[in-house]
Amino acid sequence: YITNTTMDIAEIEERFASFKPTRKTSTNHQYGIQISKLTKDLSITDVSGLLITEPIMEYVKSKSFSSQANAHNSIMEYLKTYENKDYDETIEYHKKQKDLCYEVYYNNNKKGIFIGNQAENVVSYDEMINYYKQICKIVISNDYKNNPCVSPTNGSSSPARDYLNLRLLVRLYILHPSRNEYATLELISPQEFQKIQYPMKNYLIYSPKKGSFLSINVYKMMDKYGPKMILIEDKELKSHIRFHKNKFGYGHMFLKQNMKPHTNTTLSVLMTHYAKKLIGKSVGSTLIYKISIAEISKKYKQALEDEDLDDMSKYKEDLQKFADTRGHSFSVQQAIYAKE
């Protein structure tokens, strides 16, 4: 292979889109990221390199089983776009590997414990709340609220923007835990939102009088569960949103230090980077969700043991809200995410 040449992510995404126009752009983008990174790391310059399974298997085996499954699925879907019968055997191979990885993943999840990297990075619910409070203290002690957040010399952002993003994001994920679709949130007024006939993005509608809310229209289970509408009720979170609107205005909410919008992937990196820096653990959106669910599930099960119907009702309602926000059923939540 020519090691200084890589497969272009834009061309990869375009191939996915042309082959299956009905597929979501976000899905094509995630496939593109997977294929682009894998081919770059293995110095693969064209599709022929993806037909050699041994180096790919060696490359993915150190990853979690869910990540392995995603890699196999991306390769499988990419090879399909060529509609070449000579690729069928390799496609079937990756399909088999994907199914096996998911089997192990779901079996491990049924055990009700944190596994793999999550086990190494899990913190208690109280520690997670303290992590959020630590972010708030850093914002105050460094006066980041009054920081211009943009370098006067090169136009890039300072760490102030990262910490202001984190303060809002971590609070949002604790109260309304979801996947990384918050990365692409756009802040918009109710008047502008009403003009959108078919919402095709993820929005935070800022309405201090009638109540701000999330409109999530691009996420993994959208086809099954439809758009998610989530009312923001927490006073502290409302305050963070109001501050964000006054300081940064409407538009894409979460920008990187180079002032470009975050993607799902870069937001995940941001969250785990600062968590590692501040508390020594790589805590991202999925782990926040599992920690929150574990805490409430523990209280729900205790209420069940105590035959306390009021607490049972309260905690089950909270768990159902979390399931709705995440975009899956209560049974899936308890089977996959309610860890001990």
pLDDT tens-digit series, residues 155-177: 555 688 899 999 999 999 988 88
pLDDT at 2: 34
Q: Are 168 and 207 in contact (CB under 8 A)?
A: no
DSSP string, 185-227: -EEE-HHHHHT-SS--S-EEE--TTT--EEEE-SSTTHHHH--
3-state DSSP assignment of residue 213? strand
Q: Are 227 and 324 in contact (CB under 8 A)?
A: no
- pTM value > 0.85: no
Name residue, tokens 């538009």. Answer: 251
Q: Which one, of 59, 67, 50, lies nearest residue 102 by Cα?
A: 67
Name residue, tokens 């309260």. Answer: 314
* pLDDT over threshold 60, residue 70: yes
* pLDDT over threshold 90, residue 274: yes
pLDDT tens-digit series, residues 20-63: 998 888 788 889 989 999 999 999 989 999 999 999 999 998 88
Between 28 and 112, where is the model more confident? 28
Name the band, by pLDDT with cuts 50, 70 and 90, for residue 116. Answer: low
Calculate mean pLDDT across residues 80-95: 95
Q: How many percent of the chain have pLDDT more than 70?
A: 89
pLDDT at 273: 92
pLDDT at 307: 84
pLDDT at 331: 67
- What average pLDDT does the structure give for the chain? 85
pLDDT at 4: 38
Residues 6+ positions from 296 with CB-CB distance below 8 Å: 315, 318, 319, 322
